[in-house]
Amino acid sequence: MIRRDSAGGSGAGGQDAGGQDAGGRDAGGQDAGGRDAGGQDAGGRIRRAWQAVRSGEVDLSCELGSVRLANPVMTASGTAGHGDELEAYVPLGALGAVVVKSLSSEPWPGNPAPRVHQTASGMLNSVGLQGPGIEAWIHNELPALVATGARLVVSIWGRRINDYSAAAAMIDGLTGVTAIEVNVSCPNVEDRSRMFAHSASATGEVVAAVQERTGLPLWVKLSPNVADICEIAGAALGAGAEAVTLVNTVFGMAIDLDRRRPLLGGTGGGLSGPAIHPVAVRAVYDVRAALPDVVIIGVGGVSCGEDAVELLMAGANAVQVGTATFRDPRAPLRVLEGLERWCARSGVRKVAELTGAAQVDTGVVPVQAHRGVDRSAR
Ligand SMILES: Cc1cc2nc3c(=O)[nH]c(=O)nc-3n(C[C@H](O)[C@H](O)[C@H](O)COP(=O)(O)O)c2cc1C
């Protein structure tokens, strides 16, 4: 088992500025992150080539609470595998961070097939959080992930509060883990399988329980399928989260006409991809307006640099790329390149300046002022 050495701290703090800038295609036109013909790992060479051609005009670094990343583009949980699968296409160390597919303390089989279905402008999935369990992941996947040099964020999930506590305790102390993303879009078997993410109090309880078991920074990933996402975000922050990740998939369903039954094995599914990009932009905008100091990671339908810019302007501090990766495994890197190009073209010297740039002052009192969200506990 890999345990964090004493110098590793809680994962907070700056990244080595030398090796962590955006990756890209190498000068010879080889696919980013690919292994060259001689079998030699091309990641370092591509990173160096990218640095040589980068304008250097744009400061891409971002601060997410106590975590400082070299750039604001990450993978989204569940769309980049459990391990280093994507390293064959993208030098993962070039991204801001890699968010691992949600893991539980025990192995979990997930939902029956079919699990994914293409829709007009996105996809439906009902994977059902299949996973090997944290102990097996630590042995089989973590070493290769750490070897990529990527900043790692481990997503955890559970079906009861104790599951989350157990998962957090297993992650705490691992070498190379920067933060925990708490996925609360999960049925709470102790509350009639109502999603934790649909209840402010259940979300707060999960975060408080996780915080007792780890000193790692906590990001809480919220569901868009709620009436007031600002209230849930306030509860997560009040219980000790450093950031909220907005948003998980939107409830959806497809019907198999021949069978006259729901098409997905899990019956309902989660919609993702371009179809939900405006939903994500709205959620980010509303939470930024309601909670001006919050750290937000925006996710939903990002497939190019401009999509990322839109989420940043709505109020995000960083973004994640999910479904786009199924179409093009290099999508996270393309988004990063596109973001930097857009900034350079638009005279933006520091990407952090974009956060909330589109916010309009409506004179509405921010939520925490009248809901009394206690952020002193952070
Ligand atoms: C196949 C699939 C699996 C996913 N698995 C997870 C998961 O394990 N944990 C999680 O927090 N989100 C999961 N998500 C949600 C994504 O991380 C992301 O929030 C969502 O898909 C919206 O972003 P996108 O439109 O860029 O995909 C999954 C999404 C897809 C499409």
Torsion angle (degrees, nearest 10) of CA 337, 343, 346, 352: 160
Three-state secondary structure readout of 89-102:
CCCHHHCCEEEEEE
Rounded to the nearest angstrom, the distance between the alpha carbon of 154 and the centre of ligand 1 is 14
Ligand 1 centroid to residue 52 C-alpha, Å? 34
Burial class (CB in 10 A: 0-12, 13-18, 19+), 177: buried
**Residue 231 pLDDT more than 80?**
yes
Q: What is the pLDDT of residues 176-229, one digit of tens each?
A: 999 999 999 999 999 989 999 999 999 999 999 999 999 999 999 999 999 999
Global pTM value:
0.86
For the cut 50, the answer to whether the pLDDT of residue 14 exceeds it is: no
Residue 56's pLDDT is 72
Which domains occur in the chain, in start order? Answer: 19-358 (3.20.20.70)
Structure tokens at 19: 């090796």
pLDDT higher than 50, residue 376: no
* CA 234 to chain centroid: 19
Instruction: Give the SS3 label for residue 88.
Output: helix
Pick the atom of ligand 1 nearest to 273's CA: 25
* pLDDT at 362 (0 to 100): 77
Whether ligand 1 lies within 6 angstroms of the CB of 207 is answered as: no
pLDDT digits (tens, 9 = 90+) for 78-131: 999 889 999 999 999 999 999 999 999 999 898 999 999 999 999 999 988 899
**Using CA positions, which residue lies closest to atom 4 of ligand 1?**
78
Interval 120-140: pLDDT, tens: 999 999 988 899 999 999 999
- pLDDT tens sequence across 292-311: 999 999 999 999 999 999 99
* Atom 14 of ligand 1, residue of closest alpha carbon: 78
Atom of ligand 1 nearest to the CA of 276: 25
Model confidence over 265-301: pLDDT tens digits? 999 999 999 999 999 999 999 999 999 999 999 999 9
Query: Given 3-state DSSP classes, what are the helix, strand and coil percentages for the chain, each rounded to the nearest 5?
Result: 35, 20, 45
**Protein residue whose Cα sits closest to atom 23 of ligand 1:** 300
* Cβ partners under 8 Å of residue 59, min gap 6: 349, 350, 351, 352
The residues annotated as belonging to the active site are 186
Q: How far apart (Å, rounded) are the C-alpha atoms in residues 152 and 74?
A: 10
Percent of the chain topping pLDDT 90: 76
Give pLDDT, residue 34.
Answer: 34
Query: What pLDDT score does 128 carry?
Result: 87
Is the distance from the beta carbon of residue 102 to the nearest atom of ligand 1 less than 6 Å? yes
- CA 314 centroid distance within chain: 17
The DSSP letter of residue 6 is: G
Length of the chain: 378
